[in-house]
């Protein structure tokens, strides 16, 4: 055997012996004992506390009048364009083309394979508040969605993106 092989073998052997000695010393210092009965035995059934309600989402309608389409376009270009296209008749990508989404039904494109959660909401309209909730937390707004985006926390950013999405139509939906 070479000298390097001997050194490696000695290192492994030394580490093993060190761990064994540490375990023995730990067993001598600490004397674990099994409890005869459970430490907590109340005999009563305790109901789980109800989860805290999520804070109400601030309505988006009052902010839409002052929302910036240009800021929304820039933000959508940075955050959404990796998965979506925005032009009329544009292609679907990882996500559907978003032209005409505002005022249209959920799962608005016939040529895109939506998740079951989104298909189940097809009879609902993408109104301003539905878009606000979805852009805030997609997975909470549409359980089972395939959209992996975590959401936009800032209400102004959501208003700007919704204003931009509203502009993507030959006949934009009137503001509330």
Q: Is residue 41 part of a domain?
A: no
Please say if the pLDDT value at position 53 is more than 70: no
Tell the residue number behind the tokens 């270009």, with chain if given.
77
Tell the residue number behind the tokens 């240009």, with chain if given.
70
Phi, psi of 84 (to 5 degrees): -125, 155
Contact 85, 91 (CB under 8 A): yes
Tokens matching residue 116: 């079951």
pLDDT of residue 111: 93
Q: Is residue 73 part of a domain?
A: yes
The pTM of the whole model exceeds 0.75: no
Supply the CATH number for residue 141's domain.
1.10.760.10
Q: Is residue 68 part of a domain?
A: yes
Q: Is residue 23 part of a domain?
A: no
- What is the DSSP code (8-state) at residue 60? S
Q: At what angle do helices 128-136 and 155-167 cross, to 10 degrees?
A: 130
Q: Is residue 175 part of a domain?
A: no
Q: Is residue 128 part of a domain?
A: yes
The whole domain housing 85 covers: 61-167
Q: Is residue 76 part of a domain?
A: yes
Tokens matching residue 126: 């993408």
Q: Is residue 131 part of a domain?
A: yes
The span from the CA of 70 to the CA of 163, in Å, is 9
Segment 8-19, tens digit of pLDDT: 889 999 999 998
Segment 127-170, tens digit of pLDDT: 999 999 999 999 999 999 999 899 999 999 999 999 999 999 99
- Give how many domains the chain has, as a whole number: 1
pLDDT of residue 30: 81
Q: What is the mean pLDDT of residues 96-124?
A: 94
């Amino acid at each position: 055997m070479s000298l390097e092989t001997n050194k490696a073998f000695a290192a492994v052997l030394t580490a093993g012996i060190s761990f064994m000695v540490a375990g023995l010393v730990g067993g001598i210092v600490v004397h674990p004992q099994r409890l005869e009965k459970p430490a907590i035995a109340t005999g009563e059934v305790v109901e789980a506390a109800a989860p805290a309600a999520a804070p109400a989402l601030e309505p988006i309608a009052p902010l839409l009048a002052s929302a910036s389409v240009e800021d929304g376009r820039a933000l959508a270009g940075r955050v959404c364009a990796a998965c979506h296209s925005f032009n009329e008749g544009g292609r679907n990508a990882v996500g559907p083309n978003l032209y005409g989404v505002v005022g249209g039904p959920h799962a608005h494109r016939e040529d895109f394979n939506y998740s079951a959660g989104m298909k189940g909401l097809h009879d609902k309209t993408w109104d301003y508040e539905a878009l606000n909730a979805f852009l805030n937390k997609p997975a909470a707004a549409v359980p089972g969605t395939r959209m992996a985006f975590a959401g936009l926390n800032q209400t102004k950013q959501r208003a700007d993106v919704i204003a931009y999405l509203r502009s993507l139509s030959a006949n934009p939906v009137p503001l509330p």
